[in-house]
Amino acid sequence: MHRLLRTVIALIITASGVASAQSLPPKLVAPGVWFLEGDAHAGYCNSILIEMDTYLVLVDPSYPGRTRELMDEIPKLSPKPVKYVFDTHAHGDHAYGNALWTKAGATTLAYVGVRNEMLRYEPQRWQAAMEKREDVRALHEPAVQPPMQVFKGRKFVLRDSHREVDFLHLGWGHTQGDGYVWLPKEKILCTGDAAVNGPRNKLWDANVANWPKVLGKAAALGPKIVLPGHGAAGGVEIVTGQATFLRDLYAAVKAQINLPLNQLKVTLPQRDANWTRPDMSQHIGIIYAEIKSGKPAGSLPHAWQ
């Protein structure tokens, strides 16, 4: 009887989505480079750990709950300290762990557009996250901590005898602050949410028309390994597939732009299946607004959903 009861309880928990779907074990993708795939059920993004001569670079700290996991996991991979933590963009699932890392002695780093995005949208988004997430509430902070160090222009470089790490801004795609991390020797590209593997993107802060052009610049680097902000690692097909999906979706909406929004019927080619959501209405509405206004969607008044 007790065994049956335990089984029923376990099934109920699993069906309700409460069961812990833990972040996957670290994956070594090159010597001294680990892909740390976050638990999507907890809202976590992926993170990447890069080992230098005397220190470590972490790409995307994610939410505070994930940061605490990473602080336990990283010492098992390398005894070196985390010196830099890079925010690929300003969204909470990528940057809300910043304060924990600075308290631990790391320097948070980003393209200047990330700080600008935070100035524009915070603390409203932080406060909304506090209502939903215990890990954000537990920090007892009034707002997200912006990156301590920012770079302007196209590139910021860290280099030692071990490797070169290029932090790139290629243009306004997913957000105005999009930053990529490029390892030229290893041909590894970390994309944040500029390119994801699966139907995982939100478009409200985007310049949808420009986004595929930016991804074209990323693909032109010639990456052999692509580590996306969400979803499994892969190759350059993640970048090119994301770009094709966005072009196809934009073109489909534009072809019907003279119709009322509620009359649009958008069907995408099979090649876009990996990025297509069951309900595409939000994406369609955002692109419709961008085309109608003649301005990037992210420049229009909008609420984060």
Specify the CATH number for 20-250; select among 3.60.15.10, 3.90.1560.10, 3.40.50.970, 3.40.630.10: 3.60.15.10
Contacts of 243 (CB under 8 A, 6+ apart): 195, 211, 212, 215, 216, 219
Residue found under tokens 């970390």: 190
Query: How many Å apart are CA 39 and CA 44, to the nearest integer?
Result: 5
End-to-end CA distance of the chain, in Å?
45
Phi-psi category of 153—alpha, beta or left, where left has phi over 0 and alpha has psi -120 to 50? left
pLDDT tens by residue, 62-118: 999 999 999 999 999 999 999 999 999 999 999 999 999 999 999 999 999 999 999
The half-sphere exposure of 57 on its side-chain side, counting CA atoms within 13 A, is 26
- What's residue 6's pLDDT? 35
Domain definitions of the chain by residue range? 20-250
Over the chain (305 residues), the average pLDDT of each successive run of 10 is 33 33 86 97 97 98 98 98 98 98 98 97 96 97 97 97 96 98 98 97 96 98 98 98 98 98 96 97 97 97 74
Q: Is the dihedral of CA 202, 37, 30, 97 positive or negative?
A: positive
Q: What DSSP string describes 182-197?
A: EETTTTEEEEETTS-S
- What's residue 23's pLDDT? 80
State the pTM of this model: 0.92
